[in-house]
């Protein structure tokens, strides 16, 4: 089997056992990228010479007999809003194209410390909002891959990377993962540091992971979940058993709750049928829950918080290069400038109340099941799809 078809866990195991070299692995992904990147456009920056040099360094380290990290030799793709000190960070905007940082994000640092090889930077929508980049959906080049973590999802779906890092402020991990047919895992708020990552909203920004197996999600999470003094939202969370626990059988029957959100009417017919089949399959372990009417306003609250924060955090781009940023981004910033402090405070208070109400469900159920998107990936590349099931 070609290395690019293997899971992250399989690649690491084979490299550590010397059944594959890191250079073998790198060459396999380079071959895949050279075949498909011309149609998928997942990469904002990829330098195969640098990739091979890093792979050679990983092999030299292994052959020296030194201790190997959790992710030794694993190629990882990084969304182009995470700072890296050895490659450009462009944020999906011509304003920052080709610019490099002197430091790197905490996530990148943790990945490197665990032995991972940073492959390159994946395409993001402009400043991680809704103005799309050039990436297509690997399963149908005429369709969107979703956003804003477009390139990360597409790179994993096209087997150009085994795993990738993305971010989510409003559906930017869950939506592209769904459209591209891969696993998108966004851990709870505060588990992964956002230090060194483009900030849209302190209250909403979160880091996520793309991969093809649940085991890989546990593996990467174990490496990057960590408290960070540079991100006040982070907290201590035990990760010792994270890799193994994802594969354990349940010691008891799981209890699921199916949430029919206020946007259920927008779900396409095929998706509704699929969820009906799922509910029947899980009928002994699942109950339905109808969102209270108060949840209807959650979308309004989210928009106020996100756009107000964007108006503050992205003010440099708006004030210095207003004519170079996309229409959707410009309009969002201008709406954010128009909200009053009272609007923002009320939105935050209401979101916290709704969060507490939903958290009550976890006292009675082990997982909440709900759609990730309104349906299949939309045709065309101008629209990255609705995030309303991820809000």
- Residue in 79, 96, 186, 263 annotated catalytic: 79
Are 167 and 81 in contact by the 8 Å Cβ rule? The answer is yes
- Kindly name the residue from 22, 148, 178, 221 that is annotated as catalytic: 148
**Beta-ladder partners of 45:** 121
Separation in Å, CA 224 to CA 164, 192, 218: 12, 6, 10
DSSP one-letter string for 156-205: HHTTS-SEEEEEESSSTTHHHHHHHTSEEE-PPTTSB--TTB--S-TTT-
Q: Which of 22, 172, 178, 201 is catalytic?
A: 172
* Listed residue (169, 170, 144) closest to 157, CA to CA: 144
Residue partners of 36: CB distance under 8 A and separation at least 6 = 138, 158, 160
Yes or no: say if 43 and 123 are a contact pair by the CB < 8 Å rule. Answer: yes
Non-local (6+) Cβ contacts of 169 within 8 A are 128, 148, 200, 201, 204, 205, 206, 306
d(CA 382, CA 202): 27
Is 328 catalytic? The answer is no
- Helix pair angle (48-63, 22-40), 10° resolution: 160
Task: Show Cβ contacts of residue 109 under 8 Å, excluding neighbours closer than 6 positions.
Answer: none
The rounded Cα 198 to chain-centroid distance in angstroms is: 14
Annotation marks residue 167 as catalytic: no
105 is catalytic: no
Which residues are catalytically annotated? 79, 148, 172
């Amino acid at each position: 089997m070609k290395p690019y078809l293997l899971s992250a866990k399989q690649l690491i195991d084979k490299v550590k056992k010397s059944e594959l070299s890191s250079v073998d692995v790198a060459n396999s992904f380079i071959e895949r990228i050279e075949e498909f990147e011309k149609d998928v456009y997942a990469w904002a920056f990829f330098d195969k010479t640098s990739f091979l040099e890093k792979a050679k360094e990983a092999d030299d380290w292994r052959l020296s007999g030194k201790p190997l990290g959790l992710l030794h030799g694993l190629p990882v793709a990084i969304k182009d809003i995470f700072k890296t000190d050895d490659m450009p960070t462009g944020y999906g905007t011509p304003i920052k194209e080709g610019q490099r940082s002197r430091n790197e994000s905490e996530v990148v640092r943790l990945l490197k410390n665990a032995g991972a090889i940073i492959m390159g930077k994946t395409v993001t929508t402009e400043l991680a909002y809704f103005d799309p980049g050039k990436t297509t959906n690997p399963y149908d080049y005429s369709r969107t891959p979703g956003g804003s973590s477009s390139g990360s999802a597409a790179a994993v779906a096209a087997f150009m990377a085994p795993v990738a890092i993305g971010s989510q402020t409003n559906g930017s991990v869950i939506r592209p993962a769904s459209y591209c047919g891969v696993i998108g895992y966004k851990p709870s708020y505060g588990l992964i540091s956002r230090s060194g990552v483009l900030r849209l909203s302190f209250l909403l920004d979160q880091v996520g992971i793309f991969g093809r197996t649940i085991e890989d999600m546990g593996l990467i999470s174990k490496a990057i979940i960590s408290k960070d003094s540079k991100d006040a939202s982070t907290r201590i969370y035990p990760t010792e058993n994270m890799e193994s626990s994802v594969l354990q059988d349940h010691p008891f029957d799981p209890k699921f709750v199916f949430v029919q959100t206020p946007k259920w009417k927008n779900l396409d017919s095929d998706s509704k049928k699929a969820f009906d089949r799922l509910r029947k399959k899980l009928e002994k372990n699942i109950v339905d829950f109808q969102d209270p009417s108060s949840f209807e306003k959650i979308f309004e609250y989210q928009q106020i918080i996100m756009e107000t924060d964007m108006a503050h955090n992205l003010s440099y781009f708006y004030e210095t290069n207003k004519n170079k940023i996309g229409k959707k981004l410009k309009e969002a910033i201008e709406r954010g400038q128009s909200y009053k402090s009272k609007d923002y405070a009320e939105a935050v208070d209401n979101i916290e109340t709704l969060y507490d109400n939903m958290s009550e469900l976890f006292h009675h159920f082990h997982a909440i099941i709900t759609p990730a998107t309104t349906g299949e990936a939309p045709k065309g590349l101008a629209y990255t799809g609705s995030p309303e099931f991820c809000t």
